[in-house]
Structure 1
């Protein structure tokens, strides 16, 4: 039998839960005492408390007894009265009183030496959870994460780009030539469709691995729990509590599990409001877009620009939360947030690797399924000629069905500075998944840049040797970049890597569409990518969790907000003479 409620010899309870709770406990206790089966098995007071706490195991046991239905009606009435008085869940009220009693008992009975009273974790928490310093420290941590992500991963990004554009593409072309398919639509499908589309996304795997690795270190060290605690005060401003920040942290990895994480919130209003704010947390799929555009338009401050995108998402979520709190979700409800802080610990290499590998492998699986399928569909649309005089897969990309549809949509984005059909088409395909934005651009610009490239003939062994040599070089460059994170340069400054053909083509396209305000247009594009619908899988999860009504509110609201923000940034920047 479960442990019963402790009492004095004269049957007075050790723990007093307050006048209102004790009154309801007495009501249930009286109802329990009239049932001989229950009083023979349970202490009536202990059972009354467990029923108020909605203990699932005890509820299942009580259901087997006679007159359980009458008792449950009384439990519902008692619970409703307490919720009305405290405006909170009964189990939280009881737990708060119980821990308060325990704290008082410890204070009265336990004697600690002054030296041992403060643990190592306590000393750190006095700084990182400080009311004033807590949020700046959290932002500094996030800035360092994205600085690490961009600077450390950059050499491997260049290595994978060279691997896909060089040896892999060459091997595929050579194999197709052996079977007599050189120059055919099959070669175009393989090279311009599959390799360009999927390869354009796989290039950013090192960046994502760096991000997931840094977040895993923070999680395993115990800091992320402190981040939720620090943000609890900010969440209260939005009418939420720190528990709502946990799905938002999950949203930095992927929006889909972040929607499911809202199930931890008991209040339906909190769940829906948190679900509407979660999509503004930049998921890992948006990172390739940020990295590509920051490298093109802001090469000297790429890490800071990427961090600003993540920070902007948080700021927009806060402002939108304030608006929704005072309109659609107006209430006086203030939930309680109770959590136990884990002690700080040194992350284990195995734990960090498992966490990093699970998230990265999930991204790669998506590249070989969803992104591959989307890339093939885009290639087909790029291969279909608008003019009947042209042949399938033997046309300029600007004369394709994809370009024709994109040109119809492009005027919508002209006020935001990226009204060219290439970027407009990428925005639309980005509804499938944000990684597809990059893969689409790789496809629509690839036709123009491959004609200019000439690959010198090499043997298979020479290609393998070049891959290994360049990998070693990327590893060395990564090691060199680590001291730069803290402003220490131990090596001679090297020349910056030249931009790739795709990057030059995007820069030129944005410069032409924005009237020479390419930087502003690039920034507006990044902001639009941040704020509009994450992906179709997230939309499906949102519908399942919150219903079709809130799904459409989210989709339409995010698109309108993204468009307005992009237009304001571009047009406002032009008025100020920026970009």
Structure 2
């Protein structure tokens, strides 16, 4: 039997002359630093020139300032040759070496056959078809996040407001604290605060399920490639578009979706723009005010608000790029397209659970504390004859604080304590704006009598509610492609008493320009801070400094936008 041996060519990787000179210099310098003997000298020099910050910190602990001085000297000499792209040059030269070596070692067909991934990419990354396909998939993610998760959101809300609150009330009654301020604190403050976090869990799970499918399948890289060019006007790249689309459903998961971005700069800039995407929580306010003041054009007004949010986000992004982020180059966008593959159930679940659990762990404490503070302000009477937790709303500390900030909103046409109070509570959740308007304008709504239920009946109700929510979610899936199996539910008309009270309130605060004031109010609701859950998410993801920058910046933009609408409309005679 004949044997053959193959002599491998002696082909060490050699970089260009300036880089090789500095590698030799660094290797010689490392030889004088005994602490660095644990590393291969040439490998360590290459890694440090490429900017490996973790390895640099470890090496500095072993070698001290001498290492830093040697590295800075090499970088200074290489600067005229490569500028800030030394790391790119090193990687490029390695790839060229590997490509040349592979070309001498492998024999391939002249025209390699297209793989399945290649054939799919011919469609999904097509110059003209790529963007519509990407937008369609993002619309599916948005619909899944809002429509399919909606029944489970309602179920969680019903469980917290119903059985859990009932059980808490029963336990407090057993220890003699029923119908006291302690019950109000636990049920309306602490438990409601926890509910403010937990109702978002179905939304997060559905969002991260969709993201996990896109990421594990390999499509997310294609989406970033397709949208890269369009996002350059904001100083971002394609990956930033996904959180902004999700922001139309809910700002909270949209902020957490910025984790898919590799650069901290891109995460922060995208996180600052996401709140201008009109989330679903603002929609009840739009519907209420538009139905009262613009009944014939309500749909057009609401559509205009969504478009306004997009325009403001684009303008703010361009402004931030020229000011706050001026001089900060965008992170290199080097992308490798992996082959398509089927997502694994375990991998999808791990991503869903890890991201959602992090949200619950980090955000609920802030929500709980804020809810308790709001409850205390509503419970403390500062005038009148009411007692703690048993006083009219207009006599509470909340009403007093709301009256104190009304001068801020006076130029906008809605400078009354009722609307100011609604905007204050809207910081907790935008849906609360409607409830606060009902309370502050003293309109009584008929409440359904709830019969007492046993523990077993509550458990059966929870299980039955979950099964019903699952059925509604399954029925909502065909609705994504236009088949409405659930049927449209009739919405109750705005109560005439509330309609008249709000109309009179806006007319009084605006000097008779109630419609302009209402439109300015809607613009302000659109542009100011979405909710305290979003603030908690921003603090968790970007830190307190950027959280406050976002809060103040959004308030200023919202105030200026509402001012332009109201005062500009008056000048135009509208």
Cα shift at 1:421: 4.0
Cα shift at 1:26: 2.5
Q: 1:100 to 1:377 in 2, by over 3 A?
A: same
* Corresponding position of 1:527: 527
Q: 1:183 to 1:335 in 2, by over 3 A?
A: closer
Distance 1:35 1:456 in 2: 78
2:268 equivalent to 1:280: no
* Corresponding position of 1:453: 447
Cα shift at 1:391: 1.9
1:153-172 counterparts in 2 under 5 A? 153-172=149-168
Q: 1:162 to 1:89 in 2, by over 3 A?
A: same
Q: 1:455 to 1:231 in 2, by over 3 A?
A: same
Asked if the contact 2:172/2:183 (under 8 Å) is kept, the reply is yes
1:410-559 counterparts in 2 under 5 A? 410-413=406-409, 419=415, 421=417, 424-425=420-421, 427-428=423-424, 436=429, 438=431, 452-460=446-454, 461-489=456-484, 491=485, 493-496=487-490, 498=492, 512-513=505-506, 515=514, 521-522=521-522, 524-530=524-530, 534-535=534-535, 538-539=538-539, 542=542, 555-559=551-555
Larger CA deviation: 247-256 vs 421-430: 247-256
* Corresponding position of 1:268: none
SS at match of 2:84: coil
* Corresponding position of 2:510: none
Encode CA deviations 1:457-483: one digit per residue, 9 max, x unaligned: 343144444443333332222211111
Encode CA deviations 1:36-71: one digit per residue, 9 max, x unaligned: 889x999997776455335679879988999x9778
Could you tell me which runs of 5 or more consecutive residues in structure 2 were left unpaired when the two chains were aligned.
1-7, 292-297, 508-513
Out of 143, 150, 158, the residue aligned to residue 146 of structure 2 is 150
Cα shift at 1:487: 1.2
Encode CA deviations 1:492-542: one digit per residue, 9 max, x unaligned: 7353365899xx979975995483576774454133235999526745875
2:108 equivalent to 1:96: no
* Corresponding position of 1:25: 20
Distance 1:249 1:79 in 2: 42
2:376 equivalent to 1:383: no
Asked if the contact 1:289/1:435 (under 8 Å) is kept, the reply is no
Cα shift at 1:403: 1.4
1:2-41 counterparts in 2 under 5 A? 9=10, 15=13, 17=15, 21-29=16-24, 32=27
2:286 equivalent to 1:289: no
SS at match of 1:208: helix
* Corresponding position of 1:128: 124
SS at match of 1:342: coil
Encode CA deviations 1:211-268: one digit per residue, 9 max, x unaligned: 3322232222222333333444345445566788899899976688789998x65xxx
2:49 equivalent to 1:52: yes
Out of 355, 360, 364, the residue aligned to residue 359 of structure 1 is 355
SS at match of 1:336: coil
Aligned residues: 545
Cα shift at 1:118: 2.6
Encode CA deviations 1:105-147: one digit per residue, 9 max, x unaligned: 5456644458864332333333434455444443333222222
Q: 1:70 to 1:463 in 2, by over 3 A?
A: closer
* Corresponding position of 1:341: 337
Asked if the contact 2:205/2:352 (under 8 Å) is kept, the reply is yes
Cα shift at 1:15: 5.0
Q: 1:423 to 1:577 in 2, by over 3 A?
A: same
Q: Give the superposed CA RMSD.
A: 5.2
* Corresponding position of 2:404: 408
Q: 1:236 to 1:408 in 2, by over 3 A?
A: same
Distance 1:45 1:175 in 2: 69
Distance 1:554 1:185 in 2: 35
Cα shift at 1:82: 3.1
Q: 1:576 to 1:520 in 2, by over 3 A?
A: farther
Cα shift at 1:275: 3.0
Asked if the contact 2:383/2:395 (under 8 Å) is kept, the reply is yes
2:306 equivalent to 1:323: no
SS at match of 1:340: coil
Report the TM-score when normalising by structure 1: 0.72
1:208-219 counterparts in 2 under 5 A? 208-219=204-215
Asked if the contact 1:225/1:341 (under 8 Å) is kept, the reply is yes
Cα shift at 1:99: 1.5
Q: 1:104 to 1:499 in 2, by over 3 A?
A: farther
Distance 2:39 2:364 in 1: 58
Encode CA deviations 1:345-404: one digit per residue, 9 max, x unaligned: 222333323322333344445675332222222111111112153322221112211111
Q: 1:88 to 1:391 in 2, by over 3 A?
A: same
Distance 2:246 2:153 in 1: 25
Report the TM-score when normalising by structure 2: 0.73
Distance 1:313 1:208 in 2: 23
Q: 1:425 to 1:24 in 2, by over 3 A?
A: same
Distance 1:481 1:418 in 2: 38
Distance 1:480 1:260 in 2: 31
Q: 1:78 to 1:403 in 2, by over 3 A?
A: same
SS at match of 1:486: coil
